Each structure stands twice: as C-alpha cells, then as structure tokens.
Structure 1
C-alpha cells in the first residue's frame, strides 16, 4: 500500500470523535439549544472534526516540503511550531463560529473567543496537533523503512542470482575442459576415437548452452546431459568403465543443473581413473515427500577425502566445493552433498535437495 493510500485511510479516523461528539450531545443536550436535531448535530460535529482532517492534510504537506528541502531538525521543529500555532487559533475560531451558527455557543468578540478557547481546550488542541505531527513522522519513517527493506531484498536477490550464475558458469566449462583433455590424450594413439570424442563434445556443448541461466532442470534432462558426458568417458576408458543406471526416473522432479554430472565426474576421476582394474559407476534415485536423494557409487580406488562418515566437507575438489556453494544459495541447509568411503574401496557421493516437481516421467538409457 502506498503512503498516500495509508494517509487517506488515516483521515477516516476523524469520523470517530465526530460520532462520539454526536452521541454526547444526544445524551446530554446543549443548554443553549436543547432541541437541536440529530441531523444538525451530525453536521456540526463533522464540520468541527473535519477541520482537523484538513489540518492533518496541510501538516502532511508541510512535512513533505520540509523533507524535500532537507530542512535541519531545528528548522523542521520551528516550522511545525509556527504552523501549529496557526492551526490551533484557526480551530478555536472555527469551533466558536460553528457553535454560534448552530446555537450551542454564545456569541463573543474575536479576542474573547481566542482567550476563552485557549483556556478551555487549548491544551487539548496542542495534544491533537502534536499527535498529527508524530503520526506523520512515524508514517514517513515506516514508508522509508519499507522501501529500504524492498531495496535490500532486491539487492540480495540480484546478488544471489549473480552468484548462482557465476557458480553455474564455473561448472559448465569444467566438463568441457576435462573432455578436451581426454581428446588430447587420444589424438596420438587413436585418432578415430578422438574424432568420436569431438562429436560427443559438440553434442554436450549444445545441450549445455541450451540450458541458459536455468538453475534447476528436470531430473531426466540432467541425466541425459550426464549420459552425454559418460559417453565421452566410456570412449576414453573403454572396458574399464561400466555403468549401472536406473531405467526409469521421476522426470517431474527438479535438480540443480549439472549437479549429477559433478558427482559422476568425481566418481570417474577419483575412482575409476585411479584404479587400473575395471570399475563400476552406479546411480540410485530415492524420493520421499520432502526430499530427493541421488547417490552415485563407484568401485574404484578409495577417495582419500572420504573418511567413512557422512560429512558436508566434500574435499578439495573445485567442482564439489562449487556445487556445495550452489546448493547453499539455492536451498540453504536443506541442500547438501556428502562423500562416504565404501568398505573395500570406492566412494558414495550423495546429493540431497528439497523435493520440487515440474511434471512428467521419462526413461533413461544409461547403458
């Protein structure tokens, strides 16, 4: 709600004392005009308290001008005091003239009217005017506080989005650099396989660029990107790499883009590549009402960063640290990745994120 909308609503407050004044005169009629009709009573009360609504509006206009001109506190105080004196004197004259017009007050000269008015309800008028000034200052502070909150929230959102884009930008080229290294290693000893790798890299690059700035994608789409990456690694490792992948995955669940690729790449680089014997990389997908859990297992060499217990400290790998930071920005404490050493060698990398749905199911042919 805008500041002026709030002000218009606050002006309706003056209907309350007008109603109370009308009720008072109904219960205890005026000595000078006891036969005054209800319509006349309502009219005189609305006029008296409507004048205060006018002074309220003018006081707010004065405050806006002082704020716009950046007046000093002393200057603002002097302006409010001077205007307050005018308001109180004018209100005394208005009430006296209305009282005479409706027959509920005696006619007096202007000097007597002001002196008696100040004595009878001058202190009350000072309190009312002070409340008007305080309400305007409080409303201005509240509006400024709200604007600062909105600006801070927008700045935080922009910063978070920029950080997420930067973190995702770190992951996208990470896989490309690794696959380019694989191509270089094959060019000398197997040019034909190197050519196949170039085609696979082109496919992976097109799929990666198609995502744009999307931070979350359907799980089936993420696994398809991972499959393209694994096809490159299978050419590189030949019979040393075997994949065990679920045939059907819940395609309506969302995961951070490139998150599964990070876990698979970690399994290949730190498990399969370090072990001269054939190895297996497998994936488990678990979902409950609140969370989606993805576990990537490898049977390669034991990861020296995993100590056999779950931990959110995922080692020194750049990609895992970047993934953990992305999860923190996206989900807070609800998203994390852990590494666990497996008995007999190998590592299990677990990704846990909140369950978020988009729609549909899909098949995956991981091979």
Structure 2
C-alpha cells in the first residue's frame, strides 16, 4: 500500500487505541480497583494508555511485516508462518506489558515470571490473539481495496485507450484524402472494370464495418488483427496502384492474442513516412514469429529511412498512444522499437508476451494486475 490517503487511514487507525484507553479509564472510575481505589484520574488514564497504546506500536509492527510478507498467491504459506510467529511474540510481550503496568500503578499484585505468563494466557491470551488477527485482517482489507481501486483505474484507462484507438483507426480510414482517392479510384474503375469497382466498394464497406464492430476487447486473435490490416491495405493498394507491394507473413502463424488495432498505426506509419515519400515502387512487409515466451510482430518498408524523415522516428501520436496502451496492458514486458532497417527503410518491431489464443476468453496477467482478455 502507498500514497498519502493510505497513510492518513493508517494514522487514524493508530489513533483508534485512544478509544479503549478512555473506556478503560471510565470503567475504573465506575468500579475502582480493590487494591488502589484512590488512584487519580490522570494515573488511571496513563495506565490504560500504556496498556492499550502498546497496541498502536504492535499495529505498526504488524503492518510493517504485512507489507513485506503479504498474503498473496504463492506466498500464503510463508506469510501464515511469519504471522503466526509474530502473533506468538506479540501476545507474549503484551501479557507482560499488561501485567507490569498493572503492578506499577497498584492495580494488580506482583507475580513471578511463570505465574504472570500462565495467568496472562488464561485471562487475556485469547483477547490479544483476536486483536492481532483483527489488525492483520484490517491491513489485508485496505490492501485489497487499494488494489481493487487501482484495477478499476487501469481498466478505465485501457477502455479509454481502446476507444481512442478505434476512433483513430476510423478517422484514418475516413481521412478526406484517403476516402477521396478510394472513391476516385472507384469512379475510374466503373467504366473500364465494373467488377473491380464493385469489389472496391465492398472492401471499403467491410473495412468500416470491421472497425465499428471491433467491440471493446482489449486483445483479439492475431489472425483477426491481420485480417483487419489486410482490409485496410486492400484499399491502400488501389490508392498506390503499382507503387505498393505488400508481403504477408509466411508459414504457420502463431495462435496468439494481440492488442486490438496494434498493427494499424505501424502499417499507416510505413505508408505515410515510407512509401508515400519515395518516387518509385516500394514494399511493406509484415511478419510474425514466436521467440520463446514472446510474440514478435515486424513491419518494414523500403522508404527513405529515419535519417531522411525525422517524423517517422516513433514519436508520432499514433505510436505514442500505442506505447501507452502496451505499457498498461503488459507493463515492461512489451517493447516497441522503430529503427532504420538493416537494408534501408524503417523497421517497426513490436515484442509482446505470448498469450495463447485459447486464453482469449479468460483473464491474462499483465504486470501487476489482471485485465480481461475478452474477444
């Protein structure tokens, strides 16, 4: 747990031990001690403050240990053993704090070590153990609440990221130049190739429908993401005509989940800053591979490269937003690099944790949180 709010709550809970101190003082006023009935109110309050105030110290110790040895999956047995030993130590010490304070203020008779321990366990051992457990449970409840709040914020941010990604994808497809060129190509084809014109209209409609019905899933199957990208490039192939060639992944494609609309900004970046800036024909290549526990997506182009166009360095809005989405989904386990290619052009490499496609309807662990991976 962290943050000013958490520490304010903890400070308030430490102050809670003033309540039993006050109640204990009132109790001795109503029923004075047989051994010292004339004990002043200030002395009564001080005795109760020492007895109950010690639990403020124990609370801080329990929280310190609980923060470092929390009850979490895979650590519960270790945490149980540590807290059990801590409970035995605190109950043992508190018995003597209670006894010695009572004797010091004349509220009880002095006893030997063994008698103090045995009578303390019989009289207060169960109460002290319940108090210890209550403190541990309170800390666990605060931690779970903080994690629940953090997960809600993370889910809200990722939902906003996805909505923005869908909007950017739709805006890219409705870009006036893109749409004008697509429609102009359709008009040109109507006279000389009506079948192709009709096919292009269908492709444009399919692309827009695919964008709108992508849903709210944070991750989708790689095959679906590639199909969406294919529909986008089908339109761009008409726009660039013989100036563009697309190379698709070959071989067996990994059955994995990827962030929705992850390839769109990479391909759009390759077209805008690569193919569109060269005079001759160019190629965009898309490849997928699995490297141990990671999925690697590559988009390369044969454009002028980063040295000739600083705007393609990966600092564009689309790529910045994609990096933000990757950080929220996978933490530091996802990496996006945009660099000059080995043989020219630009290479964008997206490296993700490999999540099998069969986990698409389950929750996937991302960083420190679990995020729904619905399709």
2:148 pairs, out of 143, 147, 154, with: 154
Which residue pairs with 1:320 in the alignment?
A: 319
Which residue pairs with 1:95 in the alignment?
A: none
Query: How far did 1:74 drift?
Result: 3.7
Partner secondary structure for residue 269 of structure 1: helix
Q: Aligned partners of 1:250, 1:331: CA distance in 2, in Å? A: 22
Task: String of CA shifts for 1:227-280, please: whole Å, max 9, x gaps.
Answer: 011112112111111011124442521211111222111111111112221110
Q: Highest Rg: 1 or 2?
A: 1
Task: String of CA shifts for 1:279-312, please: whole Å, max 9, x gaps.
Answer: 10012222122111111110022234989xxxxx
Query: How far did 1:126 drift?
Result: 5.0
Query: How far did 1:357 drift?
Result: 0.8
Which residue pairs with 1:183 in the alignment?
A: 179
Query: How far did 1:321 drift?
Result: 0.8
- Contact (CA 8 Å) 1:306, 1:341: kept in 2 or not? no
Query: How far did 1:202 drift?
Result: 2.8
- Contact (CA 8 Å) 2:218, 2:260: kept in 1 or not? yes
Partner secondary structure for residue 288 of structure 2: strand
Q: Aligned partners of 1:230, 1:212: CA distance in 2, in Å? A: 21
1:169 pairs, out of 163, 168, 180, with: 163
Q: Aligned partners of 1:164, 1:305: CA distance in 2, in Å? A: 34
Q: Aligned partners of 2:185, 2:236: CA distance in 1, in Å? A: 16
Query: How far did 1:177 drift?
Result: 1.4
Which residue pairs with 1:275 in the alignment?
A: 278
Which residue pairs with 1:256 in the alignment?
A: 259
Which residue pairs with 1:329 in the alignment?
A: 328
- Contact (CA 8 Å) 1:251, 1:359: kept in 2 or not? no
- Contact (CA 8 Å) 1:215, 1:257: kept in 2 or not? yes
Query: How far did 1:317 drift?
Result: 0.9
Which residue pairs with 1:299 in the alignment?
A: 302
Query: How far did 1:131 drift?
Result: 4.5
1:286 aligns with 2:289: yes
**RMSD value, Cα:** 3.7
Which residue pairs with 1:244 in the alignment?
A: 247
Calculate the TM-score normalised by the size of structure 2: 0.59
**Higher mean Cα deviation, 252-261 or 182-191?**
182-191
Partner secondary structure for residue 273 of structure 1: helix
- Contact (CA 8 Å) 1:219, 1:249: kept in 2 or not? no
Q: Aligned partners of 1:123, 1:258: CA distance in 2, in Å? A: 70
Corresponding pairs, count: 260
- Where does 1:34-113 land on structure 2 (aligned, <5 Å)? 73-80=17-24, 82=27
Question: Relative to structure 1, is the Cα distance of residues 299 and 118 closer, same or farther in structure 2, using a 3 angstrom cutoff?
Answer: same
Query: How far did 1:80 drift?
Result: 4.6
Q: Aligned partners of 2:345, 2:136: CA distance in 1, in Å? A: 59
Query: How far did 1:129 drift?
Result: 4.4
Query: How far did 1:203 drift?
Result: 1.3
Query: How far did 1:345 drift?
Result: 3.7
- Unpaired stretches in structure 1, ≥5 consecutive residues: 1-66, 90-116, 308-312, 361-367
Query: How far did 1:211 drift?
Result: 3.1
- Contact (CA 8 Å) 1:306, 1:347: kept in 2 or not? no
- Contact (CA 8 Å) 2:220, 2:257: kept in 1 or not? yes
- Contact (CA 8 Å) 1:218, 1:251: kept in 2 or not? no
Calculate the TM-score normalised by the size of structure 1: 0.61
- Unpaired stretches in structure 2, ≥5 consecutive residues: 1-11, 35-107, 190-196, 360-375
1:219 aligns with 2:240: no
